[in-house]
């Protein structure tokens, strides 16, 4: 059946409430072109389950955390105050911020300390990003406790600016019988966190009302630890217009489903059915990511689209082209990264090129401004979404058992799915010197060591 993977004894989440809008992080800067704010990472309690409060770790007490909404060209200054009992950081996932401002595990914010992050938002970087902790060994725990939030960058020339917009942050939560978040088990550290219920903007199976025939732009973020979202909306086709790093060159569709790996984002256009008073379900369809038969993979309902009883909306004029998408150009260097696994659990020996993460070691070296071809080889029995900090790259194609599949369309990505037994080939360039993280974004795999340090050297 369709229901979520709720184990026996798990507290039941309230469901079916209207989709909540995300709360924007207020801009305290007086001058135009500046964004200034404070994030406080703190313990908080939230009412998710009848008669109980659930202890979470949140930014500014909000579940999910506040939406940062800025423009290309802005100077951003965000102070992170750590009121938790462990080290944390704020990692600006997908944004081209300098390494020392990117919340790497080498730069922990200690309990009680405040760290100011300051960076510019370059022109051309409009897109849907997010922020979350990246502390050594505890990223999975901190995200599972609620620390994740969206970060949107807008362009002054947005060809879809006239399309009404909705942001949907998908997170997972797993509660015990007392309504508290259950810790990761050895199985979670092997297969990725299992048995979570999916939430959209903090609500379980929320209802999103749309006028019949209306077109909307949905920004969907996969902020789960390990859940691949193979999205499909009953009775509707989807049009893909953007990925991790912003808009595609042109809309792609109609598509019956779209796969969004952990940490990835998509922008899609959805035109609601012209049938008034109807209900349609957005689902994350079953998608197994291990060949060992150990994960618990089911189809799960995410959200209900309910058409109103209004007269159908007039069709919106949609552009045939969105923006130029530059080719990265020829590679001047190559790298081969082999994803490896030598055991199970936290001691699972997840690694890259046979080595588990050591923040004091440099694993890979690149030069500023040089396009490189990376062959990412998955030698394990699980799919891994591989994330590179500080830049956007393009997938050239994948190869499995001698069959090559070119990327179906050009897109900017910061996270690429590398299925078991597959090699993904990307073209990537880093424009700022310093140390960058390269890792699996199944957060339990990251914490178990599937992460490398890339040192980008000035030319």
Tell me: does residue 432 bind Cu ion (CB under 5 A).
no
Is there binding between residue 440 and Cu ion (CB under 5 A)? Answer: yes
Write the DSSP string, 108-173: -B-TT-EEEEEEE--TT--EEEEEE---TTTHHHHHHTT--EEEEEE-SS-TTTTS-EEEEEEEEE
Contacts of 1 (CB under 8 A, 6+ apart): none
Residue 392 CA to residue 384 CA, distance in Å, equals: 18
Nearer to Cu ion, 197 or 378 (CB): 378
Residue whose CB is less far from Cu ion, 273 or 378: 378
Applying the rule CB under 5 A, the residues between 87 and 106 that interact with Cu ion are none
| Backbone phi and psi for residue 415, each to the nearest 5 degrees, phi listed first | -140, 130
Give the whole-angstrom CA distance, residue 242 versus residue 234.
21
The backbone torsions φ and ψ at residue 172, rounded to the nearest 5 degrees and listed phi first, read -120, 150
The C-alpha atoms of residue 246 and residue 114 are separated, in whole angstroms, by 31
Residue 340 vs residues 207, 222, 361: alpha-carbon distances, Å: 41, 24, 18
Span from 109-117, 130-138, 320-328, 384-392 in contact with Cu ion (CB under 5 A): 384-392
Q: Candidates 17-25, 158-166, 403-411, 445-453 — which segment interacts with Cu ion by CB under 5 A?
A: 445-453
Cα→Cα distances 89→151, 203, 313, Å: 16, 26, 45
Q: Identify which of residues 78 and 413 has a Cβ nearer to Cu ion in the complex.
A: 413
Kindly state the smallest distance separating residue 132's Cβ from Cu ion, in Å.
Answer: 16
Q: Which of residues 27-56 bind Cu ion (CB under 5 A)?
A: none
167 vs 340, beta carbon nearer Cu ion:
340
User: How many residues form the binding site for Cu ion (CB under 5 A)?
Assistant: 4
CA distance to 263, 369, 395, per residue, from 387 (Å): 8, 19, 12
Beta-carbon contacts of residue 32 (< 8 Å; ≥ 6 apart) = none
Per this entry, what is the length of the chain?
A: 459
DSSP code for 32: T
Q: Indicate the residue among 140 and 442 with the shorter CB distance to Cu ion.
A: 442
Q: Work out how close the CB of 445 gets to Cu ion at its nearest, in angstroms, rounded to a whole number.
A: 3
Kindly state the smallest distance separating residue 356's Cβ from Cu ion, in Å.
Answer: 13
Minimum Å gap between C-beta 12 and Cu ion is 30
> For Cu ion, which is the closer residue by CB, 22 or 418?
418
Which residues partner with 34 through β-bridges? 75
From 302-310, 326-334, 368-376, 442-450, span contacting Cu ion (CB under 5 A): 442-450
| CB of 269 or CB of 440, closer to Cu ion | 440
384 lines the binding site for Cu ion (CB under 5 A): yes
Dump the DSSP string for 352-399.
ETTB---TTS--EEEETT--EEEEEEE-SSB-EEEEETT--BEEEEEE
Write the binding mask 290 to 319 for Cu ion: x where contact by CB under 5 A, - elsewhere: ------------------------------
Pick the piece of the chain touching Cu ion (CB under 5 A) from 114-122, 151-159, 182-190, 437-445.
437-445
Residue 217 vs 389, nearer CB to Cu ion: 389
Q: In this structure, what are the phi and psi dihedrals at residue 432, rounded to the nearest 5 degrees?
A: -130, 140
CB burial of 133-159 (b: ≥16 within 10 Å; e: otherwise) equals: bbbeebbbbbbbbbbbbbbbbebeebb
Nearest residue (CB) to Cu ion, 385 versus 390: 385
Residue with Cβ nearer Cu ion (4 or 295): 295
Judged by CB under 5 A, the residue of 97, 437, 442, 456 near Cu ion is 442
Q: Which is nearer to Cu ion, 48 or 440 (CB)?
A: 440
Q: Residue for token digits 């080939």?
A: 425
Name the minimum Å distance from CB 441 to Cu ion.
7
Distance in Å, CB of 298 to Cu ion, minimum: 20
Which pair of tokens denotes residue 161? 């600016």
What the block records as the tokens of 179 is 């309504």
- DSSP code of 190? H
Binding mask 108-147 for Cu ion (x = CB under 5 A): ----------------------------------------
Largest alpha-carbon pair distance within the chain?
62
For the bound state, the minimum distance from the C-beta of residue 54 to Cu ion, rounded and expressed in Å, comes to 27
Question: Interface with Cu ion by CB under 5 A: which range of 137-145, 151-159, 367-375, 439-447?
Answer: 439-447
CB of 440 to Cu ion, least distance (A): 3
* Minimum separation from the CB atom of position 262 to Cu ion (A): 9
Q: Give the burial class of 317: count Cβ atoms within 10 A of its Cβ; 0-12 exposed, 13-18 middle, 19 or more buried.
A: exposed
With contacts defined by CB under 5 A, name the span among 32-40, 118-126, 159-167, 434-442 that binds Cu ion: 434-442
**Beta carbon nearer to Cu ion, 107 or 196:** 196
Candidates 108-116, 241-249, 263-271, 435-443: pick the segment binding Cu ion (CB under 5 A).
435-443
Report the nearest approach of Cu ion to the CB of residue 228 (Å). Answer: 11
Contact set with Cu ion (CB under 5 A): 384, 440, 442, 445
């Amino acid at each position: 059946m369709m229901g979520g993977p709720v184990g026996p004894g798990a507290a039941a989440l309230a469901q079916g409430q209207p989709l909540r809008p995300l709360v924007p992080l207020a801009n305290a800067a007086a001058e135009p072109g500046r964004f200034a704010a404070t994030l406080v990472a703190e313990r908080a309690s939230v009412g998710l389950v009848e008669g109980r409060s659930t202890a979470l770790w949140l930014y500014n007490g909000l579940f999910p955390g506040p939406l940062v909404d800025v423009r290309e060209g802005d100077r951003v200054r965000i102070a992170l105050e750590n009121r938790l009992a462990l080290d944390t950081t704020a990692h600006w996932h997908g944004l081209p911020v300098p390494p020392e401002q990117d919340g790497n595990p080498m730069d922990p914010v200690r309990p009680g300390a405040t760290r100011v992050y300051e960076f510019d938002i370059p022109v051309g970087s409009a897109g849907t990003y997010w922020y979350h902790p990246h502390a050594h060994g505890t990223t999975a725990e901190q995200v599972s406790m609620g620390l994740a939030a969206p970060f949107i960058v807008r362009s002054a020339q947005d060809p879809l600016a006239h399309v009404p917009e909705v942001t949907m942050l998908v997170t997972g939560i797993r509660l015990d019988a007392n309504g508290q978040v259950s810790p990761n088990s050895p199985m979670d550290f092997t297969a990725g966190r299992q048995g979570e219920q999916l939430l959209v903007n903090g609500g379980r199976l929320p209802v999103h009302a749309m006028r019949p025939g209306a077109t909307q732009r949905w920004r969907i973020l996969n902020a789960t630890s390990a859940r691949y979202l193979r999205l499909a909306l009953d009775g509707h086709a989807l049009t893909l217009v953007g990925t991790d790093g912003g808009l595609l060159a042109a809309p792609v569709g109609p598509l019956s489903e779209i796969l969004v790996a952990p940490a990835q984002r998509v922008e899609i256009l959805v035109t609601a059915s012209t049938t008034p008073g109807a209900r349609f379900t957005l689902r994350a369809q079953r998608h197994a990511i291990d060949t060992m038969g150990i994960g618990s993979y089911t189809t799960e309902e995410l959200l209900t689209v309910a058409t109103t009883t209004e007269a159908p909306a007039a069709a919106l004029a949609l552009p045939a082209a969105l923006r130029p998408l530059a080719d990265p150009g020829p590679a001047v260097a190559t790298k081969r990264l082999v994803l490896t696994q030598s055991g199970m659990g936290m001691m699972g020996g997840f690694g890259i090129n046979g080595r588990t993460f050591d923040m004091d070691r440099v694993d890979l070296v690149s030069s500023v401004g040089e396009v490189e071809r990376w062959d990412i080889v998955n030698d394990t029995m699980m799919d891994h979404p591989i994330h590179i900090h500080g830049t956007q790259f393009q997938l050239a194609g994948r190869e499995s058992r001698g069959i090559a599949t070119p990327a179906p369309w050009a897109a900017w990505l910061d996270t690429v799915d590398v299925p078991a037994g597959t090699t993904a080939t990307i073209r990537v360039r880093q424009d700022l010197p310093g140390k960058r993280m390269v890792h699996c974004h199944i957060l339990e795999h990251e914490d178990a060591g599937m992460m490398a340090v890339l040192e980008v050297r000035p030319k």
